[in-house]
Structure 1
Amino acid sequence: MIQKLRIICLVPSLTELLVDLGLEENIVGVTKFCVHPENLKKDKVIVGGTKNINLEKIKALKPDFILCNKEENTKEIVENCSVIATTHVSDLFTIEDVIDLIKYYATIFHCKKKATIIIDELRNTIKKFKLYIKDKSTLKVVYFIWKKPWMIAANNTFINHLLELNKFENCFKNQNRYPEIILEDLELKQVDAILLSSEPYPFKENDFSDFNNYTENIKVVLVDGEYFSWYGSRLLNAFEYFKELREKL
């Protein structure tokens, strides 16, 4: 690890990855949503959220690198950050994309040893999970990310990629990204389970009643959105969670 590198990360899941790569001392700025590990929000400067940042705070930190993500940060944020320091924008759709990003960070941040350990563990974890899931039946699901307007994760998303790994067939895979739907649309689908994510909208059990008129004989379950949408080292624990979820369904 090279101590002189100063990093601001505007992507919560990648902030956690940096810590697991041994780069915690290099991190100088984070977002208010960078909640893992818990100590970061009190130890580092909070420069805003993922959609709204304080440019003056960022400038004052004199970063060498600013890490962004195409999905989580706006084009305007990326453009403004690029004026301040070298800005890298990740664009991730699959686990292989995540592995490529870890390799990239390993090179520019000089942490190849820890990166190799994480990559090897991740590949081994996925290999074991694929053996577990291969004989399981395919379940048709709808994955909700927001309420009023009702929004779901569709095709061309990291969430959809992880749904496929779980042998969950996305009932809205013919749509793109994060479309709005009306709940009546559910009546047109043969749905086995409705998955309500813990983020970005914090669904709770009291939201189940919204689906009463559309979900006869359909399971409605809360799912951990971090395991379905966070890139990086959180994936190492995701597949044990996915096994538990499958058993619940």
Structure 2
Amino acid sequence: MRIVSLVPSVTETLAAWGADPIACTRFCERDDLRHVGGTKNPDIEAIAALAPDLVVVDREENRKEDFDALVAAGIEVEALHVASIDDVEPELDHLAARLGVATQPEPMPARAGLPPLRRPSDGTGPVRVFVPIWRRPYMTVGARTYGTSLLEYCGVQVAFADRPDAYPTLSESDFAGEPIDLVLAPTEPYAWHRRNLGELSAFGPTSLIDGQDLFWWGARTPTAVTRVAQTIAQALG
């Protein structure tokens, strides 16, 4: 099939399945493929000109107006919806069935087999982590997100995940009295670097974490869980 992927996670997963798309977004890290815009601003005309059999989008990653524009152009679209680690397997199974691809997914690591985490100094409750996905203003991940569900699978509690928004915006006052055992600064969507981690240390011990492992679901999910758990365990000492 001639597939266009507008989701970096899907582009990576299709490659793992041996079913490379004919085009993808500029965020998919595939310089060898045709780029048709970004996840939030795809070039609908360019996509239509490729005459794809299927365009794959994700409700969390892409905009409904672009989905509607693709459908209006007479293009077949598969809209996945991954908002939790539990959504990954059924959504990928559905996609594989639609593409006629036989897959052998790697099993998820058992929670009991993940690296043990050193508990907070008071010895009570789970480790609480803060994940800044944006800067000025700070934004983080809420309860209804894949990243939060992956971290919870690793045995930690995500600070501010009780907020009603999927991606809460925070002010300085929000941190007052908020217990944070570890700050995990992801390399995307905001590209945190070691040189600007100093400001985050005001909230707690800080460590970089691979943003793709934290937010790119798909074929990488099982191994990403293990790597994220290892990063947290090492950061906690």
**Partner Cα distance (1:142, 1:66) in 2:** 35
Secondary structure in 2 matching 1:140: strand
In 2 relative to 1, CA 95–122 (structure 1 residues): closer, same or farther, beyond 3 Å? farther
Gaps of at least 5 residues in structure 1 are none
Q: CA deviation at 1:136?
A: 5.8
Residue identity opposite 2:134 in structure 1: W
Residue identity opposite 1:95 in structure 2: I
In 2 relative to 1, CA 208–65 (structure 1 residues): closer, same or farther, beyond 3 Å? same
Q: Paired residue for 2:113?
A: 131
Secondary structure in 1 matching 2:31: helix
Gaps of at least 5 residues in structure 2 are 120-125
In 2 relative to 1, CA 183–207 (structure 1 residues): closer, same or farther, beyond 3 Å? farther
1:178 paired residue among 167, 185, 189: 167
Normalising by structure 2, what TM-score? 0.89
Q: CA deviation at 1:93?
A: 2.0
**Partner Cα distance (1:10, 1:179) in 2:** 25
Please list the CA deviations of residues 189-223 of structure 1 after superposition, one character each: whole Å capped at 9, or x if unmatched. Answer: 111011111111101122222235x33xx211111
2:63 paired residue among 62, 65, 74: 74
Q: CA deviation at 1:95?
A: 2.5
Aligned residues: 227
Residue identity opposite 2:107 in structure 1: L
Residue identity opposite 1:91 in structure 2: H
Q: CA deviation at 1:110?
A: 1.1
Residue identity opposite 2:213 in structure 1: Y
Q: Paired residue for 2:123?
A: none
Q: CA deviation at 1:90?
A: 1.2
Normalising by structure 1, what TM-score? 0.85
Q: Paired residue for 1:211?
A: 200
**Partner Cα distance (2:199, 2:228) in 1:** 25
> Are the counterparts in 1 of residues 160 and 168 from structure 2 also a CA contact under 8 Å?
no
1:104 paired residue among 89, 94, 97: 94
**Partner Cα distance (1:139, 1:197) in 2:** 18
Secondary structure in 2 matching 1:222: strand
**Partner Cα distance (1:242, 1:130) in 2:** 15
**Partner Cα distance (1:133, 1:59) in 2:** 47
Q: Paired residue for 1:161?
A: 149
**Partner Cα distance (2:136, 2:214) in 1:** 21
Q: Which protein is richer in helix relative to its size?
A: 1
Note the 1:1-249 alignment, pairs <5 A. 5-24=1-20, 27-35=21-29, 40-42=30-32, 44-84=33-73, 85-112=75-102, 115=103, 117-118=104-105, 121-123=106-108, 126-127=109-110, 129-133=111-115, 137=119, 138-175=126-163, 176-212=165-201, 214-215=202-203, 218-245=204-231, 246-249=233-236
**Partner Cα distance (2:148, 2:186) in 1:** 13
